[in-house]
Structure 1
């Protein structure tokens, strides 16, 4: 194989394919992700050489941020291209604080681009004479610049002599282009004119020339650029009200200024050029998204950030002295980048000042949010990762193949002679589970989530089979708890501390083991309700916990009364089988760690924190009246939880809602049992009704569904019938409703401030309607 890259200089799809195949052979790598690209090779002349494909970077929207600037005005969102978790969320939090306090004022102070050639002379005296002569040529230098570009203007000629060498800093204005290429061309034209003009002038002629002697600071952080400016010099300022700092940033103006003082001292000791928190994050993310020269992030991310109090307000200021940006030329013409610049209102001529102000405004918002996170302790929590004392060979996407699934299927189907002959990716599913998303927040290095696969195998006896399956690769319970902690770290120190204290004792602990244990059960009432399981993998060494299950049909049909009835009757089989056998269940150990009954009352700090945060952050969901209801339930938890746990208990799904229910052959199938626990059977009823009935539900409908469920539970066995008859079924429902409101609904509501749950507004309306109906029964 030749070492020459094929198709050099050719901008065609055929040449791209040749280069890609050449790299595949050279690296012995499939490179499947590079097979397709949305870019047209013909349009990349001047952007890249030896084009083989494109790399996707996720783009998230930060904001909105209110601008009251010179060129940027109104409520704007920023497209941030990043793979760093919490960046968009933190920038959005800062944007919210700034917006609620009146917005950010922004202003471009100047725009400069420099190129600094270095001239060598025979001696110091010649260099001095040349410097004097050069100053006299200003008009002719301007002519040379105009000969190259009508958009470039020479604004300064700044000589710096060092012995017989002279560095000349040519300073240009470059309109809406970043200007590196413009200034290079203009400076080269000047140098050519100089050398031609002085060809016979021995008393002035330089003996050597470098187009760039490194004085310009191109793509480097320099003190000179900080003072004189290179690129666009832009500043931003905002005034934050004390109540906004407390409510949104979860700290105080005084704490922010005190910490700012300490970090300035640290920056001085480190010899930092400028002072900032992390403006480079915004600069880099917006540069990638909009086609800027990414190599200029180094100098463009330099900033001067300051904080001070003014009365009760916190005043934040940011200066970006070297923001090298453009809205024409370079990567700004690429289709995706052009679209995002257009969305910002910055594409093309006239857009660079607005773009620079947008960068500065969002950089200030991020610095404020990050400083607040450091002050309140949220920063470490938002970036935590579970520590491990050993290296773990985690599952990766490529592991879901024949080698892994062969023993899983052979054991799961009890066929040691089964032979898997093929595994390929299946049709994409509509979404991932919430637990998987939460686990991935704290541990993104390993494969988790739902992965459809089409598997072909030959059984020991019979014909080959090809079946669509789903490999559910589970996050560890500890990772889910840590993921929620990261989410709550953005909600303020009080809630973060409460979760840190109580979160490990919630039902999320050991969720990965619990679901696998459920699928190992052989009771008919349970197996009839579950998806068909084709095998399980539980490997602690690899932290691999996999359920290989049937692929259920996508089912988004309406939740009619008949469908709710059918689901209640189906799950009642499980409820009735274990009703009153809660101690037996717990003693078997397969449910693993189940919170003690007293936990609900002991964790009052957590439930109150969830409610208060949701009431402050999403009042449209949890207004003051609803918050008072929930806080009242929490306050009385020491009493009603004792009564709750005196009611006959059983195995419950504990997450029984439409996301986890499908229909197969006309019968309900219930999946996602990772939160299964011991509780009153009415707990599943409450959740199902809250998710399916809607806010117009009546007392008569509730009573009918409760009767359907009680009758189905009683029909399971004489024991279950006696327990149903001997208990107040409706009272159990009311207690379970309190528990659902205090725990699950409050948890959803608090999380909703950071991760929108589309289902939650309707569920909240319905849940409080159910509560109102119960209060009406009592005449309250």
Structure 2
């Protein structure tokens, strides 16, 4: 029989950069892969002795901030922001929501009730009598056992010795206070010192001499969930408590105290049936995230997450408590010595000695915040809504990076570059855009190529090769956008979520994945002159693939790209250039919309009757935004928007009598730029293009590029410039008063619909431009003479 041989991992026991590099090269050879992401990391290999063996690479985990959460505890007071290391979407947002609710309710009260770490060696004896005699001996010699601890640790203190006799075996559970260390290694060393004394003391005793000794007999509960640890404690035993009044429960958690209480009692019965240790909704999630961020022993998440949540009615609200009986945390030793983990502890005020109790209370407070937020999500239906996916009756072979080949691109580019050969293609990482719709879809699970991807092509035209930088815009289905936005709406409570489900189809999203492709295919000169050059259109309904190949806009070629937050950059000549650029499109199709609609390029086009029909959605959003952003949607703004909704039937009908045209319908610095050479307009993201008032694009542009301090003269200048340009192209007279009235209707529509959606998104994902744009819109409406 031939003895098997195996390659040996190089550099065993060596903590050097050279040894790390050797191990990585060995791993690459073993796997047959370049493993390109596993290059040199930020951790010095020399610092890791005692933390890891055969160190080869690092894996980065993103850290998000949740909070602030107001504490009133024995070891921590004031607002705390928690760093959570996780790759699970919505976790940080859910913790932040719970923290906000608790803070508004008066904060969380926390206390460390006890702290101990255990180790449980086992002894075997000849018979049960000897085993029983050994338990007596332990009781008589406890003081000497305590003395042995001081020989190996200045920090450990033996507080309890519990013998558990099982037949002729005795498991001895030693419990130690370990101050600011989690204490597993410390208690092991202390227990070994104790056991050495025991073994030496009993070696010559014919009755008590052990026949078996193990340093751990599996009774300590180390890294396991046990009933003994829950009762007697292991690690920190810490409690957290908060009170939430009815208004806070409704405003932040989007549910009621009665619903939370009922869900708690129902869940408690299920926990009993399942044999759950303790009762918690989701504590493990936040505990794991804090453990990873702060260098705790990750294997202890299992036992540390055993918790007992309590919810009960109290003073027209709820009283919620959280007990973590086995929280294993430390602020010295182990992973807390690593630089980044140390910095996270420092940010929490928990680095170094004297801070383990503070860290334990912080973990408990945020665990309670997450449990309350998740319980509320389940109670109000947000949990299901936030996890909904698009139902598909069949398996879909989505477009993958490997599908983006020279052959595919050769076919797509053929109409734009006849005779050219694509010899190479490099696909870059997705570029984060500024589109709210794209952001909404990006919050969901990505299982196919979506978004804007840079493509670097080498193209041969028969004489020479040249580089061709493009961007591939891969569009989500309209239904995917609806589902993604439903997840956001679900976080706004039942009323908004249900209204979105009923009226989403009337908001202009339907056919969005087809519209931009159709417009580029139509080859409209007035659109092509102000859009990025299109090199190809790819559509495969069976694979749910809808993509455009566009010229890649760079800041060397255009100015004012992605400047929604910089209105000061939009000086008068810049705004004029944007107005002059869009006006020819407006003029070409003015009063010719029937022909436009007959060609079917735009798909479903919602009209005034659809906007009016969705009034319930606009009112639900307005009420929600007024509650969430009272500094933006103040009492006056809320009354104004409510009046617009109530009277929509009248002014929308008047609007219908005004001239319509093809409009961009998302015409703002988020989606436009100017070419450096001549300040020519470049407008992209045409997926919301529709038939509407030409003033709609002007209104959106001015809401973004002006400020709440804009003057009547500024507004009149741009209104007249746009009117004259459109009239000149269309070859018609346009009445200035009628044009001004149309602008007022456009601003009203923006305030009632689009800006309400923006504010909803702003609640859950900060959009810095939104408050200013909303205030500017109200100011422009006032300048038009509207009440």
Hey, what's the Cα distance between the residues in 1 that align with 2:634 and 2:407? 54
Contact 2:533 2:550 in 1 (8 A): yes
Q: What residue in structure 2 maps to residue 425 of structure 1?
A: 428
| CA shift for structure 1 position 396 | 4.2
Hey, what's the Cα distance between the residues in 1 that align with 2:539 and 2:767? 31
| CA shift for structure 1 position 595 | 1.8
Hey, what's the Cα distance between the residues in 1 that align with 2:402 and 2:326? 44
Residue 543 of structure 2 aligns to a residue in which SS? coil
| CA pair 602-236 structure 1, distance change in 2 beyond 3 A | same
Contact 2:720 2:736 in 1 (8 A): no
Q: What residue in structure 2 maps to residue 704 of structure 1?
A: 717
Q: What residue in structure 2 maps to residue 477 of structure 1?
A: 478
Contact 1:580 1:723 in 2 (8 A): no
Contact 1:130 1:204 in 2 (8 A): yes
How many residues get paired? 771
- Out of 682, 705, 713, the position equivalent to 1:692 is 705
Instruction: List aligned pairs for 1:444-523, cutoff 5 A.
Output: 444-459=446-461, 461-523=462-524
Contact 2:506 2:614 in 1 (8 A): no
- Out of 551, 554, 561, the position equivalent to 2:572 is 561
Hey, what's the Cα distance between the residues in 2 that align with 1:645 and 1:770? 21
| CA pair 342-28 structure 1, distance change in 2 beyond 3 A | same
| CA shift for structure 1 position 10 | 1.8
Consecutive unaligned residues in structure 1, runs of 5 or more: none
Q: What residue in structure 2 maps to residue 668 of structure 1?
A: 681
Contact 2:73 2:361 in 1 (8 A): yes
Hey, what's the Cα distance between the residues in 2 that align with 1:202 and 1:94? 62
- Out of 173, 176, 182, the position equivalent to 2:177 is 173
| CA pair 596-92 structure 1, distance change in 2 beyond 3 A | same
Instruction: List aligned pairs for 1:525-604, cutoff 5 A.
Output: 525-554=526-555, 555-556=559-560, 558-604=569-615
Q: Deviation digits for residues 82-116 of structure 1, max 9, x if unmatched?
A: 11111111111111111111111000000011111
Contact 2:414 2:420 in 1 (8 A): yes
Residue 542 of structure 2 aligns to a residue in which SS? coil
Hey, what's the Cα distance between the residues in 2 that align with 1:281 and 1:425? 33
Q: Deviation digits for residues 470-526 of structure 1, max 9, x if unmatched?
A: 222222222222121111211111111111111133222222221222222212111
Relative to structure 2, which stretch is displaced further, 601-610 or 693-702? 693-702
- Out of 7, 29, 45, the position equivalent to 1:41 is 45
Contact 2:431 2:451 in 1 (8 A): no
Contact 2:422 2:457 in 1 (8 A): no
Residue 686 of structure 2 aligns to a residue in which SS? coil
- Out of 439, 442, 446, the position equivalent to 1:440 is 442
1:77 paired with 2:62, answer no
- Out of 218, 233, 239, the position equivalent to 1:229 is 233
| CA shift for structure 1 position 61 | 0.8
Contact 1:221 1:273 in 2 (8 A): yes
Residue 378 of structure 2 aligns to a residue in which SS? helix
1:26 paired with 2:39, answer no
Instruction: List aligned pairs for 1:319-358, cutoff 5 A.
Output: 319-358=323-362
Hey, what's the Cα distance between the residues in 1 that align with 2:434 and 2:168? 68
| CA shift for structure 1 position 541 | 3.0
RMSD value over aligned CA atoms?
Answer: 1.8
Q: What residue in structure 2 maps to residue 117 of structure 1?
A: 121
1:739 paired with 2:755, answer no
Relative to structure 2, which stretch is displaced further, 569-578 or 442-451? 442-451
Hey, what's the Cα distance between the residues in 1 that align with 2:49 and 2:544? 47
Q: Deviation digits for residues 745-773 of structure 1, max 9, x if unmatched?
A: 11111221111111112212211110111
Contact 1:402 1:423 in 2 (8 A): no
| CA shift for structure 1 position 586 | 1.9
Residue 33 of structure 1 aligns to a residue in which SS? coil
| CA shift for structure 1 position 380 | 0.6
Relative to structure 2, which stretch is displaced further, 112-121 or 506-515? 506-515
Hey, what's the Cα distance between the residues in 2 that align with 1:729 and 1:751? 32
| CA shift for structure 1 position 679 | 0.9
1:158 paired with 2:162, answer yes
Hey, what's the Cα distance between the residues in 1 that align with 2:194 and 2:768? 62
Hey, what's the Cα distance between the residues in 2 that align with 1:587 and 1:10? 74
Q: What residue in structure 1 maps to residue 566 of structure 2?
A: none
| CA shift for structure 1 position 414 | 4.0
Instruction: List aligned pairs for 1:143-154, cutoff 5 A.
Output: 143-154=147-158
| CA pair 760-470 structure 1, distance change in 2 beyond 3 A | same
- Out of 632, 650, 656, the position equivalent to 2:661 is 650
Relative to structure 2, which stretch is displaced further, 442-451 or 268-277? 442-451
| CA pair 724-2 structure 1, distance change in 2 beyond 3 A | farther
Hey, what's the Cα distance between the residues in 1 that align with 2:405 and 2:22? 29
Hey, what's the Cα distance between the residues in 2 that align with 1:22 and 1:80? 33
Hey, what's the Cα distance between the residues in 2 that align with 1:474 and 1:57? 28
Q: What residue in structure 1 maps to residue 623 of structure 2?
A: 612
Relative to structure 2, which stretch is displaced further, 505-514 or 365-374? 505-514
TM-score (norm: length of structure 1): 0.96
Q: Deviation digits for residues 63-99 of structure 1, max 9, x if unmatched?
A: 1111011111101111111111111111111111111
Hey, what's the Cα distance between the residues in 2 that align with 1:713 and 1:547? 29
Instruction: List aligned pairs for 1:87-106, cutoff 5 A.
Output: 87-106=91-110
Q: Deviation digits for residues 418-448 of structure 1, max 9, x if unmatched?
A: 223242538x957453222111223323332
Hey, what's the Cα distance between the residues in 1 that align with 2:728 and 2:759? 37
Consecutive unaligned residues in structure 2, runs of 5 or more: 564-568
Q: What residue in structure 2 maps to residue 267 of structure 1?
A: 271
| CA shift for structure 1 position 401 | 5.2
Residue 514 of structure 1 aligns to a residue in which SS? helix
Hey, what's the Cα distance between the residues in 1 that align with 2:506 and 2:757? 14
Instruction: List aligned pairs for 1:383-398, cutoff 5 A.
Output: 383-397=387-401
Contact 2:165 2:171 in 1 (8 A): yes
Hey, what's the Cα distance between the residues in 2 that align with 1:11 and 1:698? 68
Hey, what's the Cα distance between the residues in 2 that align with 1:176 and 1:771? 61
| CA shift for structure 1 position 398 | 5.5
Residue 673 of structure 2 aligns to a residue in which SS? strand
Contact 1:386 1:442 in 2 (8 A): no
Q: What residue in structure 1 maps to residue 199 of structure 2?
A: 195
TM-score (norm: length of structure 2): 0.95
Hey, what's the Cα distance between the residues in 2 that align with 1:309 and 1:158? 39
| CA shift for structure 1 position 333 | 1.2
Contact 2:159 2:176 in 1 (8 A): yes
Hey, what's the Cα distance between the residues in 2 that align with 1:23 and 1:464? 38
Hey, what's the Cα distance between the residues in 2 that align with 1:523 and 1:386? 34
Hey, what's the Cα distance between the residues in 1 that align with 2:394 and 2:180? 53
| CA shift for structure 1 position 406 | 3.5
1:297 paired with 2:301, answer yes
Instruction: List aligned pairs for 1:372-383, cutoff 5 A.
Output: 372-383=376-387
| CA shift for structure 1 position 403 | 5.1
Residue 280 of structure 2 aligns to a residue in which SS? coil
| CA pair 87-405 structure 1, distance change in 2 beyond 3 A | same
| CA shift for structure 1 position 391 | 2.9
| CA shift for structure 1 position 451 | 2.2
